[in-house]
Amino acid sequence: MAISIRVNFEGDSPVLSILSRLSDLNQDKLFALIGTDIVEATRTRFVMQHDVEGNPWKQSWRAKLQNGQTLRDTGRLMNSFAYNVLPNGVEVGTNVEYAAPLQLGAHIYPKTAQYLVFAVMGHFRKVKEVHNEPRSFLGINKNDEVSIINVIHGFLNV
């Protein structure tokens, strides 16, 4: 059974005014502003070295050896995030192939050899496997939700 409610407003109703503004809304522009906000929040996690929930990332061995920051050796991943406006929303992501194992964590094993071999501070190191701790950077937390609401509020008040 279908149920519907029809509400009619006449005159200078504040509800009618808001509904009128919403129907004229440029959603693509709003979604672009939201996308920009989420990308900035994601990049801030790299600078602050914490996950989506605000927990500090476990420092990587490379960051320890070089007195640097985890996931910020070249900045490629941090600077790769972009948004895409969709008909009914926005998506944020990256095309960097190693983003998923860093976000979710991974065990890496050699495919064709007995060891993984890589250079560390000018010396070669070989290991049977590497375990990457998950270091989440993509996602929306409570602070991000408040920020998105503020973006929407600011957009509607323009």
- Whether pLDDT at 1 is above 50: no
* Rg, the chain, Cα only: 23
Sign of CA dihedral 119, 124, 129, 131: negative
78 within domain boundaries: yes
Q: How confident is the model at residue 9 (pLDDT cuts 50, 70, 90)?
A: low
116 within domain boundaries: no
128 within domain boundaries: no
Structurally, the chain folds into a number of domains equal to 1
Encoded amino acid at 73, one letter: D
Going by C-beta distance under 8 Å and a sequence separation of 6 or more, which residues neighbour residue 83?
31, 32, 34, 35, 36, 38, 39, 90, 91, 92
115 within domain boundaries: no
Average pLDDT, the chain: 87
- Whether pLDDT at 2 is above 50: no
14 within domain boundaries: no
pTM of the model: 0.79
122 within domain boundaries: no
Domain around 55: 27-99+135-156
CA 18 to chain centre: 31
Backbone angles phi, psi at 106, to 5 degrees: -165, 155
21 within domain boundaries: no
32 within domain boundaries: yes
106-111 LR contacts (CB < 8 Å, sep 24+): 106/131, 106/132, 107/131, 107/132, 108/132
